[in-house]
Structure 1
């Protein structure tokens, strides 16, 4: 296995993981949980 092939594979895997994280962050089913977490600093004890 050539080092350039290994670098290409790692780059593709990293890109797929990045797209997965973006898709998870923008998922509609997580919106309520993220909105609740965004309001936490403004809530009083």
Structure 2
């Protein structure tokens, strides 16, 4: 086994890992969690507005 065999195996392993991650990311089972994660910045904004209303601080 020489270095070229190792490079070929490394390429195949990398391709399999890449396609595995793509399938995992686009699977329907993950959609709900990804949608929740996408809305996290907006939840922080709502918390900020609630805190401002409670303290009476209207400055930005």
> TM > 0.5 between the two?
yes
Q: Number of residues paired by the alignment?
A: 45
Q: Find runs of 4+ consecutive structure 1 residues off by over 3 angstroms.
A: none
Deviation at 1:23, TM superposition (A): 0.2
CA–CA separation in structure 2 for the residues paired with 1:32 and 1:12: 31
Q: In the alignment, what sits opposite 1:32?
A: 32
CA–CA separation in structure 1 for the residues paired with 2:36 and 2:11: 34
Deviation at 1:9, TM superposition (A): 0.1
Q: In the alignment, what sits opposite 1:18?
A: 18
Larger Rg belongs to: 2
Higher relative contact order (CA 8 A, sep 6+): 1
CA–CA separation in structure 1 for the residues paired with 2:41 and 2:24: 23
Aligned-pair Cα RMSD in Å:
0.6
Using the size of structure 2 for normalisation, the TM-score is 0.72
Structure 2 alignment gaps of length 5 or more: 48-60
